[in-house]
Amino acid sequence: MALPLTVSMSNKWSRKRRHFPLLAVLFLVFLACSVIYIEFSIQQIHQSPDHVLHSQRQTSSFTYVKPNLPKGASDVLDGSSSCNSTRNYSGKKIRWVGTDAESNQRRSISQENSCDVFSGKWVFDNQSYPLYKESDCPYMSDQLACHKHGRSDLQYQHWRWQPHNCNLKRWDATEMWEKLRGKRLMFVGDSLNRGQWISMVCLLQSVIPANKRSMTPNAQLTIFRAEEYNATVEFLWAPLLVESNSDDPVNHRLSERIIRPDSVLKHSAQWEHADILVFNSYLWWRQGPVKLQWSGEEHGACEELDGLGAMELAMGAWADWVASKVIPLKKHVFFVTMSPTHFWLGSLPLH
């Protein structure tokens, strides 16, 4: 009785196998028809008047303007500047180079070796760090003097940067001064970069005799000078990189943030002759919408843009300056990216 059952099952399996090629062919025909239909639909969309009009709007949504210098002292933004009227952002952008120039204007040079010092991690090193003591640096800012103001934990001073694929030489202040001989090293940005500048000064000042070094404050620009090496380590207060009403290094806490996007030249006139530039800009763009006051606008007319959009606009103006003005073999430019937030558990400020 088992034999007929076996034969019956074999016959059914044979019929199913004969159906498989047919199903496969039908599936392939369905896929081919689907692809052809999708391609035809895409062509129809691109040929439709509505799509052409939308594409034209996308390509012509920005108006490029040339950067300008302020016309006079009264035209410079400061803490008393205000907007008499505000409208939506018009789509203007800054263009240093011609509108037909593309990304080939953004020049770069390859690294001299295969080691990427920017790719690494922080490692704890209580044998060779810290490189200087807070109390030994006469230029230490009270804002950065954590130990002086009661922080008992000093473990944070023992962290060292370790690249993944190579080892950095131990810091040597004299060797660094030799590399800086006859040069200007300038930090540009907000208080985060000012902290980096002070740390660099503290690292370098110990090998310079007191009578051969000086600190010259000059409003926005502060300069540490080492006479023996004819070198300077400078800081330029420019928290938004382009001209703004917050460019005063002391009185810059304002309820309304106003920038002049086409006036990056005001600051670049001070930094363009430096040999090594270290920029940063981040935290100040997080404080709500930003007002844009373009050069030539009369009666305090402003446009308004959210912080991220305004930062993109200013960064674009800065990047175009770098692309069109910097010769990589003669000048080195660095940009410090996003920094850790200044808050502990999201509520209490560290300082």
Query: Helix 49-59 crosses helix 2-47 at what angle (to 10 degrees)?
Result: 60
Q: How far apart are CA 222 and CA 234, in angstroms?
A: 6
pLDDT in the model for residue 251: 77
Nearest to 220 by CA among 190, 195, 198: 190
pTM of this prediction? Answer: 0.73
Q: What is the pLDDT of residue 147?
A: 79
Average pLDDT, the chain: 76
Cα within 13 Å of Cα(278), Cβ side: 16
Return the pLDDT at 101: 40
Task: Please provide residue 76's backbone torsions phi and psi, each rounded to the nearest 5 degrees.
Answer: -80, 135
d(CA 307, CA 61): 20
E-assigned strand segments in the chain: 63-65, 85-88, 92-94, 120-124, 159-163, 184-189, 213-218, 221-226, 231-237, 243-244, 258-260, 276-280, 290-292, 301-305, 332-336, 343-344, 348-349
DSSP codes joined into one string, 111-135: -SSS--TTSEEEEE-TTT--SS-GG
Q: What is the pLDDT of residue 59?
A: 36
- Two structure tokens written together for 83: 């907007």
The three-class DSSP label of residue 313 is helix
At which residue do the structure tokens 């159906």 appear?
19
Whole-number pLDDT of residue 70: 54
Mean pLDDT by 10 residues, the chain (351 residues): 46 51 58 51 42 35 56 64 84 64 43 76 88 87 81 85 91 95 97 92 94 88 96 96 89 82 87 96 85 80 91 90 90 83 46 38
Q: Report CA-CA distances (Å) from 203 to 48, 136, 172, 173, 217.
A: 65, 10, 9, 7, 19
> What SS3 state is found at 217?
strand
